[in-house]
Amino acid sequence: MLQILLISTFIALIFGAVLIRFSHLHEKFSADHDLCGVQKFHAKPVPRVGGGPIMAGLVSGCFVLFFFTKSWLPSMLVLASLPAFCAGLIEDLTKKIGPGPRLMATFLAAAVAYFVIDAGLARLDIPIVDAILFHWWPLSLLLTVVAVGGVAHAVNIIDGYNGLSGVVAIFIFLAMAYVSFKVQDAELMGLCFAMIGAIAGFLFWNFPRGLIFAGDGGAYLVGFMIAEIAVLLVQRHSGVSPWFPMLCVIYPVFETLFSIYRRKFLQNRAVGYPDALHLHQIIYKRVVLWMVGSKDAAHLTQRNSLTSPYLWALSSLSVVPAMLFWNNTPVLIGFVLAFIFSYVRLYRMIIRFRTPRWMLLRKSTRL
Give the number of other Cβ atoms within 10 Å of residue 249's Cβ.
25
Q: pLDDT band at residue 24, thresholds of 50, 70 and 90?
A: confident
Q: pLDDT band at residue 1, thresholds of 50, 70 and 90?
A: confident
Q: How far apart are CA 39 and CA 229, in angstroms?
A: 30
Q: How far apart are CA 223 and CA 221, in angstroms?
A: 6
The neighbouring-strand residues paired with 361 are 288
With CA atoms as reference, report the closest residue to 307 among 284, 290, 278. Answer: 284
**Contact, 216 vs 56, CB < 8 A?**
no
Give the number of other Cβ atoms within 10 Å of residue 272's Cβ.
11
With CA atoms as reference, report the closest residue to 148 among 84, 82, 75, 71. Answer: 84
Can you tell me whether residue 32 is helix, strand or coil? strand
Mean pLDDT to the nearest integer, 178-200: 97
In this prediction, residue 166 carries a pLDDT of 96
Q: Is 37 a residue whose pLDDT tops 80? A: no
Q: pLDDT band at residue 35, thresholds of 50, 70 and 90?
A: low
Q: Look at strands 46-47 and 31-32 and give their pairing.
A: antiparallel
Please state, rounded to an integer, the average pLDDT across all residues of the chain: 91
User: Which residue range forms the structural domain that includes residue 37?
Assistant: 2-363
Q: Is 294 a residue whose pLDDT tops 80? A: no
Helix (H) or strand (E) holding 288: strand 288-290
* Percentage of residues of the chain with pLDDT beyond 90: 72
The total number of residues shown for the chain amounts to 367
Mean pLDDT to the nearest integer, 292-310: 84
**Total domains, the chain:** 1
Cα torsion angle, 148, 184, 329, 311, sign: negative
With CA atoms as reference, report the closest residue to 5 among 53, 52, 58. Answer: 58
Give residues with Cβ within 8 angstroms of 367, minimum separation 6.
Answer: none
Q: Could you give the C-alpha distances from 34 to 95, 234, 258, in angstroms and in order?
A: 11, 41, 26
**Contact, 77 vs 227, CB < 8 A?**
no
Q: pLDDT band at residue 296, thresholds of 50, 70 and 90?
A: confident
In this prediction, residue 38 carries a pLDDT of 47
50 or 43: which carries more pLDDT confidence?
Answer: 50
